[in-house]
Chain A
Amino acid sequence: MEILDKLKEKFEILQSQEKREDLALVGTTEKDLIPLLVYLKEYEGYKTLVMISCVDWIEEGKFELVYNLWNPSKKHNILVKTKIPREAPKFQTIYKIWPQAEAYEREIHEMFGVDFEGNPTQHEELILEDWDDIPPMRRDFDTLKYSMEKFGEREPKSGIIIRKQISEQYDEWRRK
């Protein structure tokens, strides 16, 4: 694939793969990522940012940021990836290059706790409200435990649903 060869000449490429005819995958360093995105946008016609995603590789202690670009004339997708440390994760914003990146970064900030320096709205709540725990999409967040603690058990342990009548519960509560 010629685009991958071109990128290899210009940037430090850690990993590259041609997945399908219309999908390629490039891994690069933290430092080279934004120059690479700008290069793809300005010179190679990858004009559209489809999405930004984040993967938690907790065993390595890394977050992986994935930028998905699309070339409207060649009908080709490219996934550009980089790994950032999991402790105090931070990266630079790209919302000045693509306006929709602002909302995607806001979501990643909320769900993974990655700090995008320069993003004006990332500290505003997008999806969650009054969240009181670690960011929920991290691998070490146990959603079942959180749900049981906050919303109560799903059903009694015996396996048969014998729910106390609500009126009994009122009385119990009054006696307390």
Chain B
Amino acid sequence: MSKEEVRLFIGPQHPGVTGNMSVEVLLKGDTITWAKTHIGYLHRGFEKLMERRIYIKSFPLVCRICVPEPDTNEENFARGLEELAGIEIPERAKWIRTLVLELSRLQMFIMWYGGIAGSMGLSTPVQWGIGDRDYILDLFEELTGGRIYHIYIMPGGVRKDLPEGFEERVLKLMDIIEQRLPEYDEIIMENAVVQKRLKGLAKIPRDWVDEMGITGPVARACGFPYDVRKDHPYEAYPYLDFDVITEDGCDAWAMLLVRRREIDLSINLIRQIIEKMPKGEFLARLPNVLYWKIPPGETYVKSEATRGEFGYYMVSDGSDKPRRVHVNGPSFVHGITLLERLLVGQNIADVAPIMVSLQTCPPEMER
């Protein structure tokens, strides 16, 4: 640190950072010369707590690893457990899980779409985004009983069947959201401030993607068609018809375009799921989960969250509690390795849009 530089902490109490984390930067004038991410403000030791609990008791824990999108965690943990225990789940359960995953992806993207505008000081899209997301939360409440944490996906399938008329209500909501989206586009995409600020911001060199393990919309904005739904299909995704969305810009504007098109894709997928969903059982027969011993083994399961590839490495030693569960969220790489390198040379005002573009989610970095 030279005499001309100023050390500044952005966060944890700062409206611009994405959640309870902080970035320490050195400033020369208005330009960042060095950055370091500080995490650990939300560390609850989930991996340690899971080692002390039987498998079924871990389900309320795993959904709290990522607050805005809990279903990815539940699904991953349940799928890993099924693989270790050798359980086949019914066909309908797979489709219901996929529906829940896509609904949760959609609500996250809509909130994000408002949030990226909010990070540049436009407050109307924030109000719209969170307001429209609430309609999806209402559907979740009807389906699972909870607005945010659902604990709906469990080993062997899902907790309950869909309520009567649920499909029609989902389809109706999709129509409403689809009608609303052009209004969003008008005030976000066509806004000169957004275009000026995001085009060329946070330019990622292409060779970083494979080397650093960048995944999700950030990798897709650099032209790499990495999507776990397509690459390693899970649940009902092999039966769905879709293309991986890519853009070529490598910058924050391309990330915005990818996520905007992801909203359309999610709506499309939800319509497909409801059209093709089979009838039948929704929960496989399980042994008594309170005395459930899992045979020794290990596995790595992954799925596509809104931010990128979400993976669970699970080791069982033959007892009724896991030996080790390692949760690997995409934000670990995006928020520490990538963010520290991307911020160098940027302006102080662009820290918030960059963090929102990378969609760093602190609870999944530190668990």
| Chains A and B form a bound pair | yes
Name A residues whose Cβ lies closer than 8 Å to a Cβ of B: 19-20, 22-23, 25, 47-51, 53, 55-56, 66, 68, 70, 72, 75, 77, 79, 98-100, 102-104, 125-129, 136-137, 139, 141, 143-144
In Å, the complex CA distance between A175 and B20 comes to: 39
The yes or no answer to B186 lying at the interface (CB within 8 A) is: no
- What are 18 contact pairs spanning A and B, CB under 8 A? A48-B210, A49-B213, A53-B324, A53-B326, A55-B324, A66-B313, A72-B210, A72-B226, A75-B232, A79-B300, A98-B211, A99-B212, A99-B337, A100-B332, A126-B40, A143-B45, A143-B48, A143-B49
Question: Given A72-B210, A98-B212, A51–B40 Cβ distance below 8 Å?
Answer: no
Verify if B328 is at the interface (C-beta below 8 Å from A): yes
Q: Is B39 an interface residue (CB 8 A)?
A: yes
Structural contact, B336 and A103, CB atoms closer than 8 A: yes
Across the interface, do B212 and A100 meet the contact criterion of CB distance under 8 Å?
yes
Q: Is the CB of A137 within 8 A of B213?
A: no
Q: When the two chains form their complex, are residues A56 and B324 in contact, meaning their CB atoms are under 8 A apart? A: yes
Taken together as a complex, chains A and B put the C-alpha atoms of A77 and B309 apart, in Å, by 13
| Residues of chain A with a CB closer than 8 A to B333's CB | 100, 103
Contacts A56-B324, A99-B212, A128-B40 hold; do A136 and B45 have CB atoms under 8 A apart? Answer: yes
Residue of chain A at shortest CB distance from B340 = A103
CA distance A137 to B311 in the complex (A): 19
Instruction: Judge whether A100 and B337 touch: CB under 8 Å.
Output: yes
Q: Identify the interface centre among A49, A53, A104: most chain B CB within 10 Å of its CB.
A: A53
- Residue ID in chain A nearest B230 by CB atoms: A75
A53 and B52 contact, CB distance less than 8 A: no
Question: Inside 8 A of A51's CB, which chain B residues have their CB?
Answer: 311, 313, 326, 328, 332
A50-B213, A127-B40 known, 7 other contacts, Cβ within 8 Å: A49-B213, A51-B332, A79-B300, A125-B40, A126-B366, A127-B39, A144-B52
The answer to whether A127 touches B211 (Cβ under 8 A) is no
**Beta-carbon contact of B39 and A77 below 8 Å:** no
Q: How far is the CB of B160 from the nearest CB of chain A, in Å?
A: 29
Among B49, B51, B231, B315, contact of A75 (Cβ-Cβ < 8 Å):
B231
Using Cβ atoms and an 8 Å threshold, which residues of chain B touch A137? 47-48
A97 to B304, CA, bound (A): 26
Tell me which of A19, A55, A99, A127 contacts B366 (CB under 8 A).
A127
**Chain A residue at minimal CB-CB distance from B224:** A72
A contacts with B: majority SS: mixed
B309 touches A50 (CB 8 A): yes
The CA-CA distance from A68 to B215 in the complex, in Å, is: 15
B324 touches A48 (CB 8 A): no
Nearest CB of chain B from residue A50's CB, rounded to whole Å: 6
Question: How far is B211's CA from A70's CA once the two chains are assembled, in angstroms?
Answer: 11
Q: Is B43 an interface residue (CB 8 A)?
A: yes
Which positions 235-294 of chain B face chain A at CB distance < 8 Å?
none
- Report A17 CB to chain B, min CB distance, Å: 9
Residues on B with C-beta less than 8 A from A127 are: 39-40, 43, 366
Q: In whole angstroms, how far apart are the Cα atoms of A99 and B332 in the complex? A: 12
Q: Does B13 belong to the interface (CB within 8 Å)?
A: no
Whether B298 sits at the interface, judged by CB under 8 Å, is yes
Query: B315 to chain A: which residues have CB within 8 Å?
Result: 55
Q: B299 touches which one: A23, A75, A136, A141 (CB < 8 A)?
A: A23
In the complex, what distance in Å separates the CA atom of A68 from the CA atom of B299?
A: 11
Question: Smallest distance from the beta carbon of B344 to chain A beta carbons, Å?
Answer: 14
B323: interface (CB < 8 Å): yes
Contacts of B213 in A (CB 8 A): 48-50, 70, 98, 100
Interchain CA distance A29-B309 in the complex, whole Å = 29
- B231 neighbours in A (Cβ, 8 Å): 75
A-B pairs, top 10 by smallest CB distance, nearest first, are: A127-B40, A53-B326, A100-B337, A51-B328, A47-B210, A75-B231, A103-B336, A55-B324, A48-B213, A127-B43
When distances are taken between beta carbons in the complex, the residues of chain B under 8 Å from A25 are 298
Contact status of A77 and B337, CB under 8 A, knowing A48-B210, A53-B326, A72-B210: no
Q: Complex formed: what's the CA distance from A98 to B226 in Å?
A: 19
Q: Complex formed: what's the CA distance from A56 to B232 in Å?
A: 29
